[in-house]
Structure 1
Amino acid sequence: MILLTGAYRPFFPAAALFAGLSIPLWLIAHSGAATPVTDAYLWHQHEMLWGYLPAALAGFLFTAIPNWTGRPALSPMALLALFILWLAGRAAMFAAPDAATSQLLTASFLPVAAALALREIVAAGNTRNIVVVAMIAGFWAAQIVFLWFDTQIGVTAGFAVSLVLMTLIGGRVTPAFSRNWLKKRGATRLPPEFGTVDKSALLLTVATALLWIVTDTSMLTGIAAVLAAFAQALRLSRWRGLAVWKEPLLFAQHAAYAWLVIGLGLLAATSLGDWDSSDQAHHALGAGAIGTMTAIVMLRALLGHSGRPIEATRADTLLFSVLHLGAALRVCAGWVDDPTLLYHAGGTLWAVGMIALALRAFPIAIAPRL
C-alpha cells in the first residue's frame, strides 16, 4: 500500500488535517457553545502540543532517519501500528480526556516513537542525532507532568522543550537548504557553517528553557530570554534570508524561524515587565514557530521524497501567508481591549491554512513516487 511506504505519507496529511479541525472546535467552545469535550481549554492545550506536534515529528523523524543512518525505513506494518497508536490517542482524548485509559494511551506514543528512533540511530552508530531522541524524551516528560501532576508546569515545559527542538531542527535545515540553493545559483556570499554564533544562540535558548521550567517567568528567565532573542536574531540574520525570497519554500523557513525570536521577546517582556503576555508568548511559539515551521518542513519533505520539484505554487505562498497572518492576529489579540474578533479571525485563518496544507498533502501521499 503506497500510503505505508514512507512515514511522511500518513503522518503529514493527518497532522495538518487534525490541526485544521481542532482549532475550529476550540473556537466554538471558547465562544460558549457546548462541545463534546468536558474541559475544552485543557484539551486544546494538550492536543496542539502533544497531538499535532508528535505527528509532525514522527513523520519527519522516520522520513529523515533512513537518510541519517543508511538503514531501511520502518516496515509498513510498524508504520501502520505507530500511526494507529497516534490516531487512537486523538480519539481517546476527544471522547474521554479525563479517563486514565485515554491518558495512558495518548502518553504511550512518544516513548514508542523515541524507542524506534533510538534503535535505528544506535544500530547505525549515528550518535550525533541522539540529541533529537533526548528532546522527544523531554517532551514526553512534559506531557506526563501535564496529564498527572501540574498542567501549568506541564504546558511551560512543553513549550520550553519545543523551543529548543525548533531551534535544533530549524537551525539545521534552514541554513543548509539556503546554502545549497544559493550555491546552485553561483552566489559567493553563503550562510556560514555552524559556529560560535550558533552555539551561543543554542546555549542561551537552552538556558532560557530550563529557567522557564524551573523559575517560571522570573527575572532570571527574562534576562536569559533577552540574551537568547538577540542571539537568535543574529543567527537568523546570517542565513541570507532576503537572498532566497524568490523561492517561497525557502523564505518560509526563515520566516518560521523568526517566530522563535518573537516568542523569546514576548517571554522576556512577560518576565521583566508588568504586563502579562505569557499567552502571547505561547502562541508566538505555538501557532507561530511550531505551526509554520512544521508546515514548511512537511511540505518540503512531501515534495522532495515523492520525487516532485521542491518549488512553491501560488497556492503554497498563499497557504503560508495565511498561517503567518493567523498566528500574528492571535498574538496581537492580547494588545486590544476586546480580543474576540482578532482571536477568532486568527484562529480561523490558521485553521484554513492547515486544512489547505492537508488538501495539498493528501494527493501526494497516496500517489506513487514520480
Structure 2
Amino acid sequence: MILLSGAYRLFFPFTALFAGTAVPIWLIYHAGLVERINDPLLWHQHEMLWGYLPAALAGFLFTAIPNWTGRPAMGPKTVAGLFGLWLTARIAMFAAPEGALSHTVALAFLPIVALLALRELLAARNRRNYVVAGVVLALGLAQAVFLMSDADLGLTMGFALTFALMVHIGGRVTPAFSRNWLKKRGEDRLPVSFGPVDQLAISVSIAAAASWIVFDASALTGVLAAMASLALALRLSRWRGFAVTREPLLFAQHAGYAWLPISMALLAAASLTDLANIGQVHHALGVGAIGTITVIVMLRALLGHSGRPIEGTRFDRVFLNFLHIGAVLRVTADWTGDPTHFYHLGGAFWSVGMICFFIRAFPIALAPRV
C-alpha cells in the first residue's frame, strides 16, 4: 500500500486531520455543549502537545533520517505499527483521558520514536543529530510528568523542550533554504551565516527554557525570556525573510519562526508584569509556532520526497494565513473584554487551515512519486 511506503505519506496528512478536528471538539466542550469527558482541559492540553506534535515529529524524523544517515527508510510494517500505536492512543485518550490504560498506550509512543531514531543515528554514527533523539525522549518524560505527577510542570516542560527544538531545527533550515533560493536567482545579499549572534540566541533561549522549567514564571525567567526574545528577533532579521516573499513556502518558514521571539516576549511579560498570562504563552508556542512551523516543514518534505517542485500555490498562501490568523486571534483574545468569541473564531480559522492542509497533502500522499 502506497501510504506505507514512507512515514510522511501516512503521518503528515492525518496529523493535520487530527488537529483540524480536535480543536472544534475542544471548543464544543469549552462552550459547555457536551460534558462526556470529566476533564476536557486535560484532554485538550495533552492531545495538542502530545498527540499532534509527536505525530508530526515522527513523520519528519523518519523522512529526514535516511537523508541524514544514508540508511534505508523505515519499512511498511514499522510505519503501520507506529501509526497504529499513535492512532490507538488518540482513541484511548478520548475515550478515557484519565484512565491508566489510556496513559500507558499514550506514553509508549515517544520513547519508541526516540529509540528507533537513535538506532539509525548510532548505526550511521551521525552524532550531530543525537540531540534530536534526546529531545524526543525528554518530551516523553515531560508527558509522563503531565499525566502521572504534576500537570502544570509537565506542560511547562513540554513547551520549553519544544521551544528549544524549534530554535534548533528552525534555525538550521530556514536560512539554509532561503540562501539556496536566493542564490539561484543571482542575489548577492544572502542570509548571514551562522555566527556569534546565532550562538547567543541559542544559548539564551536554552537558558530561558531551563529557567522556565526549574523556576516557573519567575523574575529570572522573565529576564532571560526578554533577552531570548531580542536575540531571536535579531537572529531572524538577518535571514532576509522579506526577500523571499514571492515563494510562500519559504516566507512561511520565517513567519513561523517569528512566533518564537513573540512567545518569549509574552513569557517575559507574564513573568515580570500582569500584561500577559501563561495561557497566551502556551498558545503563542502551540497554535503559533508549533502549528505553523510543523505544517510548513511537513508540506515541504511531502513535496520534496514525492518528487514535486517545492513551490507554494495560492491555496497554500490562504491556509497558511488562516493558521496565523487563528493564532493571532487566540493569543490576543485575553486582551479583550469578552475573549470567548475570539477563542472560537481563532479556533475556527486554525482548524480550517489544518483541514485545508489535509486536503492539499492527502492526494500527494496517495500518488506515486513523480
Q: Which residue of 2 is the match for residue 330 of structure 1? A: 330
TM-score, length of structure 2 as denominator length = 0.99
Q: Which moved more, 1:96-105 or 1:44-53?
A: 96-105
> Which whole-Å CA distance do the structure 1 matches of 2:358 and 2:60 have between them?
16
Instruction: Report the alpha carbon displacement of residue 341 of structure 1 after superposing the two structures with TM.
Output: 1.0
Instruction: Report the alpha carbon displacement of residue 34 of structure 1 after superposing the two structures with TM.
Output: 1.1
TM-score, length of structure 1 as denominator length = 0.99
> Which whole-Å CA distance do the structure 1 matches of 2:366 and 2:37 have between them?
32
Matches within 5 A, 1:31-110: 31-110=31-110
SS of 2:307's equivalent? coil
Matches within 5 A, 1:1-370: 1-370=1-370
> Which whole-Å CA distance do the structure 2 matches of 1:85 and 1:149 have between them?
23
Superimposed CA distance per residue, residues 56-96 of structure 1 (whole angstroms, 9 cap, x where no aligned partner) = 00000000000000000001111111110111110110111
> Which whole-Å CA distance do the structure 2 matches of 1:277 and 1:25 have between them?
24
Structure 2 gap ranges (5+): none
Q: Report if aligned partners of 1:208, 1:225 keep a CA contact under 8 Å in 2.
A: yes
Seen in structure 2, the aligned counterparts of structure 1 residues 83 and 272 have a Cα distance that, compared at 3 Å, is same
Q: Report if aligned partners of 2:190, 2:239 keep a CA contact under 8 Å in 1.
A: yes
Instruction: Report the alpha carbon displacement of residue 137 of structure 1 after superposing the two structures with TM.
Output: 1.2
Superimposed CA distance per residue, residues 149-208 of structure 1 (whole angstroms, 9 cap, x where no aligned partner) = 000111111110110011111111101100110110111111122211111111111100
> Which whole-Å CA distance do the structure 2 matches of 1:239 and 1:276 have between them?
29
Q: How many residue pairs were aligned?
A: 370
Superimposed CA distance per residue, residues 20-65 of structure 1 (whole angstroms, 9 cap, x where no aligned partner) = 0000000000001114432110100000000000000000000000
Instruction: Report the alpha carbon displacement of residue 276 of structure 1 after superposing the two structures with TM.
Output: 4.4
The residue type equivalent to 2:320 in the other structure is F
The residue type equivalent to 1:150 in the other structure is D
Seen in structure 2, the aligned counterparts of structure 1 residues 35 and 176 have a Cα distance that, compared at 3 Å, is farther
Q: Report if aligned partners of 2:23, 2:347 keep a CA contact under 8 Å in 1.
A: yes
Please tell me the root mean square deviation across aligned C-alpha atoms, in Å.
0.8
Superimposed CA distance per residue, residues 260-285 of structure 1 (whole angstroms, 9 cap, x where no aligned partner) = 01100000000011344211111000
> Which whole-Å CA distance do the structure 2 matches of 1:36 and 1:121 have between them?
43
> Which whole-Å CA distance do the structure 2 matches of 1:240 and 1:182 have between them?
9
> Which whole-Å CA distance do the structure 1 matches of 2:284 and 2:17 have between them?
21
Q: Report if aligned partners of 1:163, 1:285 keep a CA contact under 8 Å in 2.
A: yes
Q: Report if aligned partners of 1:36, 1:95 keep a CA contact under 8 Å in 2.
A: no
Superimposed CA distance per residue, residues 244-302 of structure 1 (whole angstroms, 9 cap, x where no aligned partner) = 01100000000000000110000000001134421111100000000000010011111
Superimposed CA distance per residue, residues 104-128 of structure 1 (whole angstroms, 9 cap, x where no aligned partner) = 1000000000000000000001000
> Which whole-Å CA distance do the structure 1 matches of 2:274 and 2:253 have between them?
33
SS of 1:192's equivalent? coil
Q: Report if aligned partners of 2:266, 2:276 keep a CA contact under 8 Å in 1.
A: no
Runs of 4+ in 1 over 2 A off after TM superposition: 35-38
SS of 2:269's equivalent? helix
The residue type equivalent to 1:130 in the other structure is Y
> Which whole-Å CA distance do the structure 1 matches of 2:276 and 2:254 have between them?
28
